[in-house]
């Protein structure tokens, strides 16, 4: 740690209590910048770069107005409305880029900023670093406010970067000036600021960084789902979601500024709430006081599986609820989506399109259940390395417990848990859809369609375990990087102009698109073998190498 923290306040400590509680903020801003400089740079480059890439790729792909018109017509599907929203100006280059990239960039920024706020908030407090800082001449709110300032700066910088990229790429339709680019940048920044407010409050309410991240991501994803339902219906629920406000700024179309004011006001309100919570609670405490627990553990906790289930209980319950709710939501919107699809098709070859449309839609929703499950499985699999890094593995391995048994039992959770989640999510999706259409066979059919993603999820688990065995020091970030790359490549591979064979070889695209496509077993068998080999290799390596604390 070469960071030099100057703890003396830059200005003399003022006598007003408000100013005293901010003493040392400037020094803390430097600390937050120093600690997060790589992360901040990566977020900026990736998100601004994504818009730049989509812009240049689409400029090449749609050189004429006819091509853009075609894109707009093709994009007017419930799937795109639900996942990314559809620009009212989809037939302009700016609108096309917005439709493809805005939701990914805005949502990533909101969640990323919420996580960064936790990292410099609740996580530091949990680890005791904040205590050390606050023992110096440092106001109660100085560290939080410094972290908020830096993150707000990141949002503004990314918004400005996006606006500049948009200007440079000529995304504004002819004759509309630069308003669209400015609104585009502001809408990204605004949603990011919303994520900042959510993260700040979550860090005050919970006592652990994990819970803070779960709460923050949950609220943001909830807002995403709200607008998804809104965009599929009459749009009323879109306005209930701050992400919807960002959408409704409608860059390159209506170019509204006032929803940006709403976003800034909401972020300000959330930060004020967080400040108030921070001034009323004790250091280290959340809203819920710590209660005494059991004085002894059941015998089952001595086994790594029993202990793993106990330690991951909250995550398992949370993911089960998430997957069940997703299945419920997806199952209930299929009909509405196909109705919209009917409208869009205008009755031409309605039967054919409807058949193909519904099946394709169901297959897409099954893949969403698969992607959600993959996050759970990855989270559970990287806990192997997390336990090694924290040092908590050592007293366990000092007991009569072999490394292979420890790792093997712990992996039962992602391996079996993923299968259960896929069947649950797919089954509920099918059951709800089936009950609305009077087709009871949908339950088993959709459970099977989702379960087809199990081998792909296992490949990700295999990657996590192999990295844990061979490259423990970088295993966690690289595993999540692979996971994120898989999401992006699966959902945006076509945009990035990846060769078809690369996209097809990725685990999630290699899964047969059931029920739209026929079931094919070969890719699934190959993936199970690959996953098995990766897991075996990772555990074998772990059993032979030094235990490396983080």
Partner 1 sequence: MSATALPQTAVEVEGLTKSFGTVHALRGLDLRVPTGEVTGFLGPNGSGKTTTIRILLGLLRADGGRATLLGGDPWADAVALHRRIAYVPGDVTLWPNLTGGEAIDILARLSGPLDPRRKKTMLDRFELDPTKKARTYSKGNRQKVALVAALSSDAELLLLDEPTSGLDPLMEAAFTESIREVKAAGRSVLLSSHIFAEVEKLADRVTIIREGVTVEAGTIAELRHLTRTQVTAVLDGGVDGLAAIPGVHDLVTVDRHVTFAVDEVALPAVLAAVAALRPRSLVANPPSLEELFLRHYGDELAALAAGSDR
Which residues of the shown chain bind partner 1 in the complex (CB under 8 A)? 126, 207-208, 290, 292-297, 299, 301-302, 307, 310-311, 390-392, 394-402, 544-547
Half-sphere exposure of 109 (CA within 13 A, CB side): 36
Instruction: Name the minimum Å distance from CB 411 to partner 1.
Output: 19
Instruction: Name the minimum Å distance from CB 542 to partner 1.
Output: 12
Q: Which is nearer to partner 1, 348 or 400 (CB)?
A: 400
The two structure tokens encoding residue 108: 């990533």
Q: Which is nearer to partner 1, 393 or 458 (CB)?
A: 393
Instruction: Name the minimum Å distance from CB 291 to partner 1.
Output: 8
Q: Which is nearer to partner 1, 265 or 547 (CB)?
A: 547
Q: Which is nearer to partner 1, 160 or 389 (CB)?
A: 389
Instruction: Name the minimum Å distance from CB 546 to partner 1.
Output: 5
Q: Which is nearer to partner 1, 70 or 394 (CB)?
A: 394
Half-sphere exposure of 481 (CA within 13 A, CB side): 10
Q: Which residues, other chains included, contact 448 with Cβ-Cβ below 8 Å and sequence gap of 6+?
A: 426, 514, 519
Characterize 329-347 residue by residue with b for buried, 16 or more Cβ atoms within 10 angstroms of its Cβ, and e for exposed: bbbebbeebbebbeeebee
Give CA–CA dist 73/95, Å, rounded. 13
Give the number of other CB atoms < 10 A from CB of residue 500. 10
Q: Which is nearer to partner 1, 398 or 522 (CB)?
A: 398
Give CA–CA dist 477/192, Å, rounded. 22
Phi-psi sector, 528: left (phi>0), alpha (psi -120 to 50), beta: alpha
Are the beta carbons of 363 and 514 closer than 8 angstroms? yes
Q: Which residues, other chains included, contact 158 with Cβ-Cβ below 8 Å and sequence gap of 6+?
A: 43, 44, 47, 48, 109, 188, 189, 192
Q: Which is nearer to partner 1, 292 or 438 (CB)?
A: 292
Q: Which is nearer to partner 1, 401 or 526 (CB)?
A: 401
Please report the sign of the dihedral spanned by the C-alpha atoms of residue 466, residue 469, residue 471, residue 476: positive
Q: Which residues, other chains included, contact 170 with Cβ-Cβ below 8 Å and sequence gap of 6+?
A: 59, 93
Give CA–CA dist 449/66, Å, rounded. 37
Instruction: Name the minimum Å distance from CB 39 to partner 1.
Output: 24
Instruction: Name the minimum Å distance from CB 320 to partner 1.
Output: 19
The two structure tokens encoding residue 455: 């081998």
Instruction: Name the minimum Å distance from CB 215 to partner 1.
Output: 16
Q: Which is nearer to partner 1, 18 or 298 (CB)?
A: 298
Instruction: State the Cα torsion 506-508-514-519 to the nearest 10°.
Output: 50
Instruction: Name the minimum Å distance from CB 281 to partner 1.
Output: 15
Q: Which is nearer to partner 1, 78 or 472 (CB)?
A: 472
Half-sphere exposure of 435 (CA within 13 A, CB side): 9
Instruction: Name the minimum Å distance from CB 323 to partner 1.
Output: 23
Instruction: Name the minimum Å distance from CB 302 to partner 1.
Output: 4
Instruction: Name the minimum Å distance from CB 298 to partner 1.
Output: 8
The two structure tokens encoding residue 448: 């099977």
Are the beta carbons of 536 and 470 closer than 8 angstroms? no
Instruction: Name the minimum Å distance from CB 188 to partner 1.
Output: 36
**Unique residue bearing structure tokens 């990766």:** 534
Where would I find the H helices in 312-349?
313-345
Please report the sign of the dihedral spanned by the C-alpha atoms of residue 152, residue 155, residue 158, residue 162: negative
* Residue 426, CA distances (Å) to 202, 322, 369, 420, 452 in order: 31, 12, 7, 10, 10
Q: Which is nearer to partner 1, 207 or 345 (CB)?
A: 207
Give the number of other CB atoms < 10 A from CB of residue 425. 33
Q: Which is nearer to partner 1, 355 or 550 (CB)?
A: 550
């Amino acid at each position: 740690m070469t960071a030099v923290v100057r703890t003396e306040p830059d200005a003399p400590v003022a006598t007003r209590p408000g100013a005293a509680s901010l003493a040392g903020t400037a020094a803390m801003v430097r600390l937050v910048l120093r600690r997060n400089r790589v992360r901040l740079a990566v977020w900026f480059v990736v998100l601004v770069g994504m818009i730049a890439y989509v812009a240049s790729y689409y400029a090449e792909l749609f050189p004429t107005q006819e091509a853009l018109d075609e894109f707009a017509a093709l994009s007017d599907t419930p799937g795109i409305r639900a996942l990314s929203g559809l620009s009212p100006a989809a037939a302009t280059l700016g609108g096309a880029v917005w439709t493809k990239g805005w939701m990914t960039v805005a949502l990533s920024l909101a969640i990323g900023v919420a996580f960064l706020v936790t990292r410099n908030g609740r996580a530091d407090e949990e680890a005791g670093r904040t205590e050390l800082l606050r023992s110096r001449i440092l106001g109660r709110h100085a560290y939080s406010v410094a972290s908020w300032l830096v993150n707000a700066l990141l949002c503004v910088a990314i918004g400005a970067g996006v606006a500049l990229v948009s200007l440079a790429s000529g995304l504004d339709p002819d004759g509309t000036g630069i308003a669209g680019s400015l609104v585009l940048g502001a809408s990204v920044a605004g949603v990011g600021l919303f994520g900042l407010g959510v993260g700040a409050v979550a860090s005050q309410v919970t006592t652990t960084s994990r819970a803070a991240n779960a709460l923050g991501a949950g609220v943001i994803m909830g807002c995403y789902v709200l607008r998804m339902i809104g965009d599929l219906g009459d749009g009323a629920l879109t306005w209930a979601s701050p992400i919807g406000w960002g959408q409704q700024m409608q860059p390159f179309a209506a170019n509204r500024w006032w929803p940006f004011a709403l976003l800034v006001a909401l972020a300000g309100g959330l930060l004020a709430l967080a400040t108030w919570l921070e001034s009323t609670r004790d250091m280290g405490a959340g809203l819920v006081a710590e209660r005494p627990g059991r004085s002894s553990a059941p015998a089952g906790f001595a086994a790594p599986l029993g202990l793993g289930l106990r330690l991951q209980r909250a995550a398992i319950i949370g993911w089960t609820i998430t997957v069940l709710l997703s299945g419920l939501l997806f199952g209930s919107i299929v009909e509405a989506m196909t109705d919209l699809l009917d409208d869009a098709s205008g009755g031409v070859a309605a039967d054919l399109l409807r058949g193909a449309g519904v099946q394709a839609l169901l297959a897409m929703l099954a893949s969403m259940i698969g992607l959600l499950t993959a996050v759970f499985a990855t989270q559970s699999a990287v806990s192997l390395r997390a336990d090694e890094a924290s040092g908590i593995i050592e007293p366990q391995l000092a007991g009569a417990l072999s490394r292979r048994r420890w790792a093997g039992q712990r992996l039962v959770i992602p391996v079996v848990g993923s299968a259960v989640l896929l069947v649950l999510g797919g089954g509920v999706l099918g059951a709800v859809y089936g009950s609305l259409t009077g087709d009871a066979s949908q339950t088993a059919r959709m459970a099977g369609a989702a379960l087809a993603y199990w081998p792909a999820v296992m490949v990700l688990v295999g990657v996590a375990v192999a990295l844990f065995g061979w490259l423990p020091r970088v295993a966690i970030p690289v595993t999540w990087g692979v996971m994120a790359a898989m999401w992006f490549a699966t959902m945006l591979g076509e945009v990035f102009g990846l060769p078809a064979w690369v996209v097809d070889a990725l685990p999630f695209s290699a899964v047969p698109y059931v029920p739209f496509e026929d079931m094919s077993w070969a890719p699934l068998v190959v993936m199970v073998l690959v996953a098995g080999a990766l897991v075996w290799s990772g555990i074998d390596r772990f059993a032979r190498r030094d235990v490396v604390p983080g």
